């Protein structure tokens, strides 16, 4: 299905990943992308951000795009926020203790963080660079394991992609999504929760079927979303398995990302 296939089909909801899809590696939103999103807004079609970011990391992009009040999918589907005004519509949690215990045994020294919605993170050590934003509270493994969380983040820039994939296999947990290429990073979500599960509820709230959704993404955590949407579009520099899950592949974010595709439907 494509914009050149005629007007028999047109997106009734646009779902957008953020990092690598809307913004580049420096966190900058290209003007062409922002203008294309504005065309969608002007057409009266809902735009839903669907990201692995926390809400406090997502809100600046929501504001920069001047999106109308509505829902946003954060934390890979574990959190849905309606804004403005800010309202946490859903927060799915799980017991982090089994994951943290296994990581401590199998990969000691791994940096571990758990999300505090709308605030920041509790973590066992500071992560390198600017990976996490918000208030950062240092705790030991027992404290991190003490109450349910929406996700566990594992980070270790010294380990290779192969080593991190081995860690994912060793954990053997459903709901493990991992980001390789933006750094060695494992993001562990509640079992059965992903962007697609959250978007299905959000779309239903708009009265929109999955078949009428167009979704854009570039990471392994986008695979379920791209398969679920009526039209899934992968970024040009996405991993092969992400491209395979999509209906089409568009440009990289540095070459305009989703802008041309969106202009094709809403220009």
Question: Digits of tens for pLDDT over the chain (267 positions)?
Answer: 444 344 589 999 999 999 999 999 889 999 999 999 999 999 999 999 999 999 999 999 999 999 999 999 999 999 999 999 999 999 999 999 988 998 888 888 889 999 999 899 999 987 666 678 889 999 999 999 999 999 998 888 777 777 777 777 777 654 455 555 455 678 888 888 999 999 999 999 999 999 999 999 999 889 999 999 999 999 999 999 999 999 999 999 999 999 999 999 998
pLDDT for 42 equals 98
Cα–Cα distances in angstroms (integers) from residue 176 to residues 95, 152, 229, in the given order: 14, 10, 21
**Are residues 22 and 63 in contact, defined by beta-carbon separation less than 8 angstroms?**
no
Q: List where CATH 3.30.1240.10 sits in the chain.
A: 97-188
- Per the rule left: phi > 0, alpha: psi between -120 and 50, beta: everything else, 108 is beta
- H helices of the chain, where? 31-42, 55-65, 97-106, 141-144, 161-171, 195-205, 223-228, 240-245, 259-266
Fold of 97-188: 3.30.1240
pLDDT for 108 equals 87
138 vs 121: CA distance, rounded Å? 9
- Fill in the DSSP letter of residue 66: T
Fold of 3-91+193-266: Rossmann fold (3.40.50)
pLDDT for 163 equals 78
Q: List where CATH 3.40.50.1000 sits in the chain.
A: 3-91+193-266
pLDDT for 129 equals 61
Residue with tokens 């007007």: 7
User: Residues in the chain, how many?
Assistant: 267
Cα–Cα distances in angstroms (integers) from residue 93 to residues 7, 117, 163, 191, 194, in the given order: 42, 11, 27, 9, 13
Assigned token pair, 117: 């919605």
Residue 62: helix, strand or coil by DSSP? helix
- Per the rule left: phi > 0, alpha: psi between -120 and 50, beta: everything else, 5 is alpha
């Amino acid at each position: 299905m494509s914009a050149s296939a005629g007007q028999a089909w047109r997106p009734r909801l646009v779902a957008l990943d953020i990092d690598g899809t809307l913004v580049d590696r420096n966190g900058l939103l290209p003007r062409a992308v922002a203008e294309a999103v504005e065309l969608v807004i002007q057409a009266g079609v809902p735009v839903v951000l669907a990201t692995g970011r926390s809400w406090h990391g997502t809100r600046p992009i929501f504001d920069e795009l001047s999106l109308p009040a509505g829902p946003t999918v954060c934390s890979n589907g574990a959190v849905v926020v309606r804004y403005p005004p800010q309202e946490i519509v859903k927060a799915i949690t799980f017991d982090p203790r089994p994951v943290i215990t296994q990581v401590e045994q199998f990969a000691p020294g791994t940096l571990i963080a758990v999300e505090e919605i709308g605030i920041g993170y509790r973590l066992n050590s500071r992560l390198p660079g600017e990976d996490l934003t918000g208030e950062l509270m240092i705790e030991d493994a027992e404290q991190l394991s003490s109450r349910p969380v929406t996700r566990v983040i594992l980070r270790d820039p010294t380990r290779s992609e192969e080593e991190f994939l081995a860690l994912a296999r060793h954990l053997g947990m459903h709901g493990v999504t991992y980001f390789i290429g933006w750094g060695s990073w494992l993001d562990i979500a509640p079992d059965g929760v992903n962007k697609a599960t959250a978007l299905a509820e959000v779309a239903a709230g708009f009265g929109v079927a999955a078949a009428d959704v167009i979704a854009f993404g570039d990471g392994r955590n986008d695979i379920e979303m791209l398969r679920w949407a009526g039209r899934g579009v992968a970024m040009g520099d996405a991993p092969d398995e992400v491209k395979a899950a999509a209906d089409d592949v568009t440009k990289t974010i540095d070459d305009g990302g989703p802008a041309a595709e969106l202009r094709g439907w809403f220009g």
